Amino acid sequence: MKLGADNETLAENKILILYLLSIIKRPVSNDELYRLVLSIQDMNYFYFQQFLLDLENNEYIINYQKENDILYEITEKGKSTLELTIDVLPGIIKLKVDENIKGELQEIKNESAVRAEFIPLSEKEFIVKCKIIENSITIFEIQAFANSRDQAIKIVQNWEANAGTIYPKVLQMLNE
């Protein structure tokens, strides 16, 4: 798809984004939204960003910062516009959205629920941050010091693989 494509194709892509945001009914990150769009149809990332900017400039969507993510949400104006233009979106695209959206959202939710990263303080010192996120809210976060890159990587991998076991144990210890 070229950005210079016909106006109908450009409109379809913007309406697809509005349609997805209206179905999701919660704020969604840029990466999550792009992933959802790609599960429906192929779209260049830079064109996707331009569509988001156009939708935002027209006040059909809003974005705001929450922790480290920029989240997008459809506005009332966007919902009204979608109602008027939904017929531009081909039926096959709507069907794909309806069939794929629940599975994709669940997969995204599962992936984003457990996060870990390490931040270098020096060549031999690192801070490791381990989190559990639900509905874009950090419900648990712990930081640890690592005295080598290998140790930091090991902590991250261990958290990502075992957060479901570690988190309840830590919570239980804190409640004793």
Residue 175 predicted with pLDDT over 60: yes
Q: What percent of the chain has pLDDT over 70?
A: 90
Instruction: Please state, in angstroms and rounded to a whole number, the distance separating the CA atoms of residues 171 and 128.
Output: 19
User: Model confidence over 2-46: pLDDT tens digits?
Assistant: 444 566 678 899 999 999 999 888 888 888 889 889 888 888 889
The pLDDT of residue 150 is: 94
Please report which confidence band the pLDDT of residue 111 belongs to, taking 50, 70 and 90 as the band edges: low
Tell me which residue of 87, 91, 111 sits closest to 99, measured CA to CA.
91
The pLDDT of residue 147 is: 95
The pLDDT of residue 115 is: 86
User: Which stretch of DSSP H or E encloses residue 129?
Assistant: strand 126-134
Which sequence spans correspond to the domains of the chain? 7-89, 113-175
Which tokens belong to 132?
């559990």
User: Model confidence over 125-146: pLDDT tens digits?
Assistant: 999 999 988 766 788 999 999 9
* Phi (first) and psi of residue 147, to 5 degrees: -100, 20
**Least confident span in 72-81, 110-119, 141-150, 154-163:** 110-119
Contact 60, 19 (CB under 8 A): no
Q: Does domain 7-89 have CATH number 1.10.10.10?
A: yes
User: Model confidence over 53-92: pLDDT tens digits?
Assistant: 999 999 999 998 876 678 899 999 999 999 999 888 888 8
Higher pLDDT, 163 or 135: 163
